Amino acid sequence: MASNVSFSPLTDLDLTVEEQSSIFTPNVDWDTPAIDPAELLIGKLFATKEVDNQLFLRTFSNIWKKDNLLSISHIGENIYRIHFDNAAKCTEIFNRGPWLFKSDWLAIAHSNPNLDAQDHDFSTMNVWVRIHDLPTILMDSESMAIQTGSSLGSLIGNVTKTDTMRIDGNMTTYLRVGCCINVNSPVRRCVFIGGSSSAKKCCMLQYERLPTLCHACGLIGHLVSSCPIVEITSRCNLNQSPYCNFVSGVISTMGQDDTRWPMRPQAWHKVGSLSY
């Protein structure tokens, strides 16, 4: 008698006894793989359009050549295996994101040899966030900037660093914080701080090199036209969505060092200029 088995990507297969009894046990040493997993990254491109894989491979091969890339290969639908010559470089590349290909986000995970490539965790993104409209007293000194960045950044995600570099001896008009954000939650647009009075102050957020963002639901990785959460039937409907007026900055180009200072906005995009 057959029994039902559910697994990805196929679900609710009605397997026969023969199919279930045919089990292959690989003769491999699971504890000592041929390639050190610490030298491998698994990438998943959240593509909003058809991907030219040859162009993708050439692009990132050129970008990461100086980072001692050994190989990059296409191993599944929008899934890539990335091999560097040492574990430290893998960690550096992981932390230097987000990586973009034609505005689409290349999510990166540390390789786990016991998992299928599709089963890796691609739910987090490292990104620089600019916190605007802060009282200057919160950025007067390096120690105060770090304290402010740590406190406010924790409302956005897990804080990885706070940029305290100054231009001509002065802090800029915003505080720049590195955060690891959860892409399964809508992008946060602002944080509130308390002041000398009882009134709260709203500080707007701006994300550097933010990938494709849905202005209907606020999630990264798809456009308004393909949003699985909010149905947009007209521009009037779109203008009533919570993220319709959220502006995100595309600050740096792919392959540049995130820590380069200052960084000029190359383009601004607002929902009013998007098609749906």
User: What's the pLDDT tens digit per position in 191-225?
Assistant: 998 865 667 888 988 888 888 888 888 888 888 87
Name residue, tokens 């308004």: 224
Q: Tokens standing for 97? A: 């994101």
Question: What is the mean pLDDT of the segment spanning 74-99?
Answer: 91
198 burial type by CB count under 10 A (0-12 exposed, 13-18 middle, 19+ buried): exposed
Q: Which residues pair with 205 in a beta bridge?
A: 131
Is the pTM for the entire model greater than 0.75? no
Query: Taking Cα atoms as reference points, which of 115, 97, 112 lies closest to residue 60?
Result: 97
Task: Give the span between the Cα atoms of 98 and 128, in whole angstroms.
Answer: 9
Mean pLDDT, rounded, for 237-250: 61
Q: Is the per-residue pLDDT at 261 higher than 60?
A: no
Rounded Cα–Cα distance for residues 29 and 256 (Å): 39
What is the pLDDT at residue 131? 92
Domain 37-122: which CATH class?
A: alpha beta
Domain boundaries, the chain: 37-122, 125-273
Tell me the mean pLDDT in the region 176-183: 92
Q: pLDDT tens digit string along 17-53?
A: 777 776 666 666 656 666 788 899 999 999 878 899 9
